[in-house]
Structures are given as C-alpha cells and as structure tokens.
C-alpha cells in the first residue's frame, strides 16, 4: 500500500515549520531580540531558506502574528461551537475558557505581548490592529453580545495577559487577589 502523501508542497510544509518555530522563538525573545538565524536553527532549516520564504524578519514576524490570531480564532470557534449555553454570555464564557486553555503554553500570549512592544514598527502595528479587529469582529458576530460585553471580554483577555506575564496568579497579597478574582488561569 502506498504511503500517504502530504497535500502540502515542500515549500508550504517548510513555511509551516518556520511559522511554528517562529511562534516559539519570537515568544521567547521578541521581535527585536530574535535573529532569523535563531528561527532557522529552531526549524532546522538554513537561514537562506527562511529568507527565501520570508524576505525580512519583519515579514516573518507579521506572518507569525497573523498565524497567532488564526489560532486564537480557531480556539474561539471551537469554544463557541462546544458551548451548551448558546446565549451571548454563555458563548463569551465558553470562548474565554478555550482562549485560557490556548495560552496555557504562553507562546501565543508572549507573541502578542512582544507584538505590542514592537508596535512602533508600522507593519507590526498594522498586523496587530488587523488581528484585534479579526478577533473583536468574530467575538461580536458569533456571540451576538452587546458592544459593552465584547469590550469587557477583550479587556478581561488583556487583564489575563497581565496576570499571567506578571505571575500574579500565584500571588496572594490583597492587591494581586483584587486583579485575579474571578479569572480562570491555566
């Protein structure tokens, strides 16, 4: 029996490998602190081939950020589709739960944090804005929630980022508890 043939070409498969590695490497050291050679080494592909696929580090970072938002939307869809409670509040809770699980490994979370810190680069700022637009529009459309509820959903997501990056979920002082009460952490 013949072996299963991948539907991706070699270039497409390598592109996927580079993007997966870029998520990890950029999450560790950010846009400014990550040379293309580090992504190439993680992907076990030559730097020249990475540059063939992504002509600049900026292009690679933007593609990686776009992948991040694609993965977030996939998780939100999965959460909404699996929700027993199809009310706006129920859908927002379910989507929030799947997002919490998604960022448990911190790579997608840290990639977003690094994108915010590199937002002075116009192309990165544009990709960040497009990703936020994509997620906000999806959440609003899929949940049918009020604008205020969607704003609160996004705001809580940003608060979760802060709580996780600062390690507040492990703190018990009153000020930390004030920020973390009611939030679910992976």
In angstroms, the CA 123 to CA 136 distance is 20
Q: CATH classification of 10-180, choosing from 3.40.50.1390, 1.20.1540.10, 3.30.470.20, 1.10.357.10?
A: 1.10.357.10
Predicted pLDDT at 7: 60
Buried b (16+ CB within 10 A) or exposed e, 130-143: ebeeebeebbbebb
CB atoms within 10 A of CB 24: 17
CB atoms within 10 A of CB 52: 13
Global pTM value: 0.88
* Residue 7 exposed, middle or buried by CB count within 10 Å (0-12, 13-18, 19+): exposed
Predicted pLDDT at 1: 40
Q: Quick one: average pLDDT of 135-163?
A: 94
Predicted pLDDT at 168: 84
- Asked if the model's pLDDT at residue 8 lies above 80, the reply is no
| Sign of the C-alpha dihedral computed for residues 148, 164, 82 and 8 taken in this order | positive
* Residue 21 exposed, middle or buried by CB count within 10 Å (0-12, 13-18, 19+): buried
Sequence ranges of the domains in the chain: 10-180
- Asked if the model's pLDDT at residue 161 lies above 90, the reply is no
Q: Quick one: average pLDDT of 149-153?
A: 96
Backbone angles phi, psi at 56, to 5 degrees: -140, 160
- Asked if the model's pLDDT at residue 85 lies above 50, the reply is yes
Which alpha helices (DSSP H) does 83-121 contain, by range? 88-102, 107-117
Q: Among residues of the chain, what percentage have pLDDT more than 90? A: 72
Predicted pLDDT at 3: 45
Tokens coding 130: 């497009």
- Asked if the model's pLDDT at residue 9 lies above 80, the reply is no
């Amino acid at each position: 029996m013949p072996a299963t043939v991948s539907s991706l070409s070699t270039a497409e498969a390598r592109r996927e490998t580079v993007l997966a590695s870029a998520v990890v490497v950029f999450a560790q050291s950010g846009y400014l602190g990550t040379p293309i050679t580090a992504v190439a080494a993680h992907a076990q592909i030559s730097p020249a081939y990475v540059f063939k696929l992504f002509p600049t580090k900026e292009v690679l970072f933007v593609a990686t950020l776009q992948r991040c938002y694609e993965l977030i939307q996939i998780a939100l869809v999965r959460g909404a589709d699996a929700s027993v409670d199809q009310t706006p509040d129920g859908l927002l809770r379910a989507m929030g739960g799947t997002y919490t699980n998604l960022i448990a490994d911190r790579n997608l979370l840290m990639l977003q944090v690094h994108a915010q810190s590199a937002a002075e680069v116009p192309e990165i700022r544009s990709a960040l804005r497009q990703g936020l637009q994509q997620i906000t529009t999806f959440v609003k459309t899929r949940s049918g929630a009020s604008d205020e509820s969607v704003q609160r959903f996004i705001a809580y997501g940003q608060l979760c980022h802060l709580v996780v990056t600062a390690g507040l979920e492990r703190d018990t002082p009153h000020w930390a508890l004030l920020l973390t009460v009611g939030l679910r952490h992976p």
